[in-house]
C-alpha cells in the first residue's frame, strides 16, 4: 500500500470530513465500501473499505482543466462557462463544447464508477463532492450522495478541532 503522505490533502480530507461531521448521514454504513469522487482540477475516486482502510483510487483530468486546456491550446475555441447543456447537439461552437464537456464527462465518471463498483465486494456508497459535483451528478443516478462542499467542511472541522480555545 502506498504511503499516506503520497495521497494529497484533498484525498485525505474528503473521506475524513464525512466521518467527522455528524450532519452527514449515510456516508459510512458498516456494510458498505465508500467510493469518493472529487471533481475539480482533477477528478479523483478514492475507495475506502468497510473496515475504513484505503483500498486505492483513480485520478483523471478534471472538467474545468479539460475545458481550459481546449481554450488555451486551440486557436479558435472559446473559454466556456460550465452549465447544463440544452441539447446534445450544439448549434454553436460554445454549445457544442458544452455538450461535449458535460455529456462526455458524465460518461467518464459513469464508466469509472461502474468499473469500481464491479470490483468491490458488497454494496458501495458513491459520494460526489467538489466544484462540479452537482452539475455532473444531476443526471447520474450512480452518484448517490452529492455534497459539493464536503472537503471544505472537513478542513473547517479539522481547523476547529486543532484551534485552542
Q: What's the pTM?
A: 0.80
pLDDT for 11: 58
Does 95 reside within a domain? Answer: yes
Cβ-based neighbours of 141, under 8 Å, separated by 6 or more? none
Does 121 reside within a domain? Answer: yes
pLDDT for 6: 61
Does 142 reside within a domain? Answer: yes
The total number of structural domains in the chain stands at 1
Query: For residue 106, what is its C-alpha cell?
Result: 458524465
Does 165 reside within a domain? Answer: no
Does 80 reside within a domain? Answer: yes
Average pLDDT per consecutive 10 residues, the chain (165 residues; last block may be shorter): 59 59 50 56 81 81 92 96 96 97 96 90 78 92 85 79 78
Quick: pLDDT tens for 95-126. 999 999 999 999 999 999 999 888 886 578 88
Distance CA 101, CA 67 (A): 7
- Residues of the domain holding 72: 4-155
Does 161 reside within a domain? Answer: no
Does 102 reside within a domain? Answer: yes
141 vs 95, 114, 149, CA distance in Å? 24, 11, 19
Does 162 reside within a domain? Answer: no
Distance CA 136, CA 113 (A): 13
By CB atoms closer than 10 A (0-12, 13-18, 19+), residue 129 is buried
pLDDT for 29: 43
Closest CA to 94 of 112, 106, 81: 81
pLDDT for 4: 56
Give the torsion sign (CA, 117, 119, 122, 126).
Answer: negative
CATH number at residue 8: 3.30.420.40
Amino acid at each position: 500500500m502506498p504511503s499516506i503522505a503520497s495521497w494529497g490533502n484533498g484525498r485525505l480530507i474528503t473521506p475524513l470530513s464525512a466521518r467527522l461531521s455528524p450532519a452527514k448521514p449515510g456516508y459510512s454504513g458498516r456494510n458498505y465500501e465508500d467510493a469518493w469522487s472529487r471533481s475539480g482540477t482533477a477528478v479523483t475516486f478514492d475507495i475506502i473499505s468497510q473496515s475504513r482502510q484505503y483500498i486505492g483510487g483513480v485520478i483523471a483530468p478534471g472538467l474545468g482543466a479539460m475545458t481550459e486546456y481546449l481554450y488555451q491550446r486551440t486557436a479558435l475555441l472559446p473559454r466556456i462557462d460550465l452549465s447544463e447543456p440544452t441539447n446534445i447537439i450544439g448549434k454553436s461552437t460554445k454549445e457544442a463544447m458544452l455538450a461535449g464537456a458535460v455529456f462526455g464527462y458524465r460518461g467518464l465518471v459513469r464508466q469509472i464508477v461502474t468499473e469500481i463498483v464491479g470490483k468491490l465486494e458488497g454494496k458501495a456508497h458513491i459520494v460526489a463532492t467538489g466544484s462540479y459535483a452537482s452539475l455532473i451528478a444531476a443526471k447520474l443516478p450512480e452518484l448517490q450522495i452529492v455534497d459539493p462542499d464536503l472537503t471544505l467542511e472537513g478542513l473547517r472541522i479539522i481547523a476547529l478541532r486543532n484551534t485552542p480555545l
